[in-house]
Structure 1
């Protein structure tokens, strides 16, 4: 017997995904008078492993950011056989912000005009100035800390909260940057430095990616969902969406989804917003193929799933003789630099990278950083001596490379692999370009130099990190030309006028910086546009 079928009650907007984009849009729409339903395939995060003595081991297994390792019931498998970088994502309320390091930079103005300036990639249909007020609103809504006056930061109001300490690792890293004449700045974080709205200030646990025990990190489950629920949003967890449904006229009518008991439901809505991340969104659109949309929903351009960007990342570990208290947070970006973020063709590649430092808090994490060394140098007596000597005395310089879009880097549906409900799993094809490889090598050499001039007694380079695919971007890009894009500058589908996409899929370029602030700002702007143009909205009703 097949699953039973039910139709749920009316709503004005149906949102798929309870991460930063979906939650932000849901809150604004609800506070504007809309009845909003959010479908989330995961659940609320349970007890964070950050307070557990075995934290490092839990993070390697059931709390691993790679769903292929974590394998929770809410996860879907991903075929990564042809991917140089593996995806990291979290299925649950708050999305991957539950596991992010809360680094909070904005795209820089040139990121929106890469085609015009450098002759590659694509221009966005919007500018930094279009997003600036929404960046500032998001900063206020979730609580962002930092120092104003950074000449490498785009224009706008200073962060609403004072900065977090840069710590001893920041001081050591800064002295190397100063010696080389490179610009650096204390990090901007989606982390409270002062208690606010029932949440505590950062206590520097250094476990940001394992969940903040203070609630200081502005993951969307704690920073945005309480207000979103208070606005009247209906949140349905354990809801795996199988298909966005359409009318005979080609308008979205809602979504069919499966609950954890295997029961199939349909929620009808005049507006549908997909916020399932840069892998989940193209997967859903491709699964929603029909006689009217044989190549996938909203895919007349053929760009759904194309141009996957993932920020190739290289690190250089530096170990020091002095006690750096490297077990103290924040984990992400105590200091950072945009010294090399813009194009300089003399380097042998286009665009640039964001540099940042990161502590290496625990012994298991320290050993993981040198996994590329021969076993004899990292196990047994040698391994114990290394851990005893350098735990608390090591940190990384990290270069996140701007990933230029490649048409053949893509998300498709796998022919055989399925999730727990029998739905086709996504398959990734992602190959590092020669340009990215040159960029990684160039930045690693520079980062090693910074460590050495700062006094490191041991350095170890990781040419690129295949397990750091946090940023899933570009697979339903925004643009003015419907032949080469999927949505417009407000996230509205060119093909389906009442279908919107607000997550990282819409990025036309990746920038060199973390994308979440831009994802949230884009969603806020797009949701506001839905409200302001409601009288013009085409619906199937």
Structure 2
């Protein structure tokens, strides 16, 4: 869920709100008034975002009885701000803010950011963060799965790019992906199901600049249909995708996946906050305790799948401690919550003389560049970055970029300069987003805060995160090249807006691997410690890659769901 928000005091503001909320909650937490149990189902899924919805759709279609629990609710498209003149103001207010500390709804849980240099972005509810993501649908490259072998860092994944190809193809169709086949950065065969979107004037101008430099570019891939597809409407190019799609076009899981799951008999329980996963006397998962409308309930299940994102999943596993797992469920490796990758990104903006209609959608990407994706040791760091061109949004977002940009933040802006600079920039700008590969480090982690709680009194996650020197070097190199690309494309002025900011991609906290001592889940997402407990969200990433992760998250979830459906004897006696 890449965003363009960047306020220097955001982390401090968010933590202040957390502390205030915590003090209030000590007196306002509602105690459960009764307990309710539900008959066992084949599969219980915690989380209704991209991964949980993918698994729910597939398993329900295969005839399994499925229940999905999510602490949030369905989003009413009429409430979304994107079709309202004041949409930028609404998006930045508490109700629609991507940071749960700022949004501060009852169904959100706060995050303690005292020891994190980055905010944390996520959205709770049916569809999860896909409700507000930009729809960028890039696959990783084959090299991403072999960074230890190729570059001597981190670890190789236990699976390969080739293992995911059929699942990439299936989820591309499910999410209505548009794009152009033949990208030379990828092996043959990555053909999107729908035609590409126009690259707009912004993409064309920047492509001309890259051509002059001899650098790679390709039309972007987007989980937004260029023509009507299944339940998705055709994109109407409003360019407000990150505020929620008011046209019902974007590949938000509440539009694309959950309706199919419901049609095949799945049950979706919203407002259902899971407190802990439970085990039977044999040490197998047998369900989950959750809180809904002040009532404690228990959903029994033969298989439990956790799909609560790279923050919520380790939080739930750590809350599910027991005599058998005193340090958290499935945590014999002590890696639950460790190796957090927040996948930071930077931005370099250029101003051009002509009106480029840079607000035109889809907002996720017009073109992308993978020229600097692979390791080149002469640069002084390992791994690299993936870039994509985005519009700069409306006046509020453009004003923010003047205020925080390097080399421009000290220029006169208000008064007589305001009108001149806004006319110069709004509609006349192009933004390069540079995503760095964020390598895993065990000290970057999610733990349980000893005092901060959510609105049901459950421990909030504490985030410890510091961007590595290698990631800083990737971003600095990429952003400097992006400024170079702007001037090659004819920009009259270009600057780096910010160098290091959280992308909303929360990855790596339940590492996938073959060795139970050095990983939490196996190559199928099955926890090493509990044979019928699975994790399918971005927390299983062995490395972060430099691409937007949702395509990979959905492909992994589809692969795991297929394994569960096809191997009932290995999984559990249904």
Is the TM value for this pair above 0.5?
yes
Q: Report the counterpart of residue 299 of structure 1 in structure 2.
A: 331
Q: Report the counterpart of residue 407 of structure 1 in structure 2.
A: 442
Q: Does the Cα contact within 8 Å between 2:475 and 2:500 map onto a contact in 1? A: no
Q: Report the counterpart of residue 269 of structure 1 in structure 2.
A: 301
Q: Report the counterpart of residue 427 of structure 2 in structure 1.
A: 392
Q: Work out the CA distance in 2 between the residues paired with 1:237 and 1:227.
A: 17
Does residue 417 in structure 1 map to residue 452 in structure 2?
Answer: yes
Does residue 517 in structure 1 map to residue 551 in structure 2?
Answer: yes
Q: Does the Cα contact within 8 Å between 1:370 and 1:460 map onto a contact in 2? A: no
Q: Report the counterpart of residue 196 of structure 1 in structure 2.
A: 229
Could you tell me how far 1:314 is from its partner in structure 2? 1.0
9, 14, 28: which is aligned to 2:58? 28
Does residue 97 in structure 1 map to residue 130 in structure 2?
Answer: yes
359, 382, 385: which is aligned to 2:417? 382
Q: Report the counterpart of residue 229 of structure 1 in structure 2.
A: 262
Does residue 146 in structure 1 map to residue 179 in structure 2?
Answer: yes
Q: Report the counterpart of residue 513 of structure 2 in structure 1.
A: 479
When residues 507 and 198 of structure 1 are mapped into structure 2, their CA distance, relative to the original with a 3 A threshold, is: closer
Q: Give the secondary-structure state (helix, strand or coil) at the position aligned to 2:40.
A: coil
Q: Report the counterpart of residue 526 of structure 2 in structure 1.
A: 492
Q: Give the secondary-structure state (helix, strand or coil) at the position aligned to 1:378.
A: coil
Residues 236-281 of structure 1: CA deviation (Å, up to 9, x unaligned): 000000000112221111000001x211101000100000000000
Does residue 57 in structure 1 map to residue 81 in structure 2?
Answer: no
460, 469, 477: which is aligned to 1:442? 477
Q: Work out the CA distance in 2 between the residues paired with 1:326 and 1:139.
A: 26
Unaligned stretches of 5+ residues in structure 2: 1-30
Does residue 8 in structure 1 map to residue 42 in structure 2?
Answer: no
Could you tell me how far 1:385 is from its partner in structure 2? 2.2
Q: Work out the CA distance in 1 between the residues paired with 2:493 and 2:418.
A: 14
Residues 346-395 of structure 1: CA deviation (Å, up to 9, x unaligned): 11110010011110120001011222254763333322321122111112
Residues 12-67 of structure 1: CA deviation (Å, up to 9, x unaligned): 10000001111111111111110000001100112221111110011101111111
Q: Give the secondary-structure state (helix, strand or coil) at the position aligned to 1:416.
A: strand
Does residue 309 in structure 1 map to residue 355 in structure 2?
Answer: no
196, 217, 220: which is aligned to 1:163? 196
Q: Work out the CA distance in 1 between the residues paired with 2:87 and 2:572.
A: 50
When residues 54 and 206 of structure 1 are mapped into structure 2, their CA distance, relative to the original with a 3 A threshold, is: same
Point out the more displaced range, 325-334 or 277-286. Answer: 325-334
Q: Give the secondary-structure state (helix, strand or coil) at the position aligned to 1:10.
A: strand
Q: Give the secondary-structure state (helix, strand or coil) at the position aligned to 1:174.
A: helix
Could you tell me how far 1:489 is from its partner in structure 2? 0.6
Does residue 114 in structure 1 map to residue 180 in structure 2?
Answer: no
Q: Work out the CA distance in 2 between the residues paired with 1:117 and 1:203.
A: 43
Q: Report the counterpart of residue 21 of structure 2 in structure 1.
A: none
Residues 106-151 of structure 1: CA deviation (Å, up to 9, x unaligned): 1110111111111111111111111000000111122111011111
Q: Does the Cα contact within 8 Å between 2:232 and 2:248 map onto a contact in 1? A: yes
Q: Work out the CA distance in 1 between the residues paired with 2:528 and 2:56.
A: 22
Could you tell me how far 1:218 is from its partner in structure 2? 0.7
How many residue pairs get matched?
Answer: 538
63, 67, 71: which is aligned to 1:37? 67
Q: Give the secondary-structure state (helix, strand or coil) at the position aligned to 2:82.
A: helix
Q: Report the counterpart of residue 187 of structure 1 in structure 2.
A: 220
Q: Does the Cα contact within 8 Å between 2:235 and 2:250 map onto a contact in 1? A: yes
Q: Work out the CA distance in 1 between the residues paired with 2:186 and 2:133.
A: 21
Q: Does the Cα contact within 8 Å between 2:182 and 2:190 map onto a contact in 1? A: no
Q: Work out the CA distance in 2 between the residues paired with 1:178 and 1:100.
A: 29
Q: Does the Cα contact within 8 Å between 1:498 and 1:538 map onto a contact in 2? A: yes
Q: Report the counterpart of residue 357 of structure 1 in structure 2.
A: 389
Q: Work out the CA distance in 1 between the residues paired with 2:466 and 2:190.
A: 39
Could you tell me how far 1:177 is from its partner in structure 2? 0.4
When residues 201 and 268 of structure 1 are mapped into structure 2, their CA distance, relative to the original with a 3 A threshold, is: same
Q: Work out the CA distance in 1 between the residues paired with 2:231 and 2:155.
A: 43
Q: Does the Cα contact within 8 Å between 1:301 and 1:482 map onto a contact in 2? A: yes
Q: Work out the CA distance in 2 between the residues paired with 1:136 and 1:208.
A: 23
Q: Work out the CA distance in 2 between the residues paired with 1:374 and 1:352.
A: 28
Q: Report the counterpart of residue 244 of structure 1 in structure 2.
A: 277
Unaligned stretches of 5+ residues in structure 1: none
Q: Work out the CA distance in 2 between the residues paired with 1:444 and 1:33.
A: 49
Point out the more displaced range, 215-224 or 371-380. Answer: 371-380
Could you tell me how far 1:460 is from its partner in structure 2? 2.1
556, 563, 568: which is aligned to 1:529? 563
TM-score w.r.t. structure 2 length?
0.92
Point out the more displaced range, 490-499 or 219-228. Answer: 219-228
Q: Does the Cα contact within 8 Å between 2:32 and 2:291 map onto a contact in 1? A: no
Q: Work out the CA distance in 2 between the residues paired with 1:149 and 1:469.
A: 28
Does residue 369 in structure 1 map to residue 404 in structure 2?
Answer: no
Q: Work out the CA distance in 2 between the residues paired with 1:103 and 1:55.
A: 21
Does residue 457 in structure 1 map to residue 489 in structure 2?
Answer: no
When residues 154 and 217 of structure 1 are mapped into structure 2, their CA distance, relative to the original with a 3 A threshold, is: farther
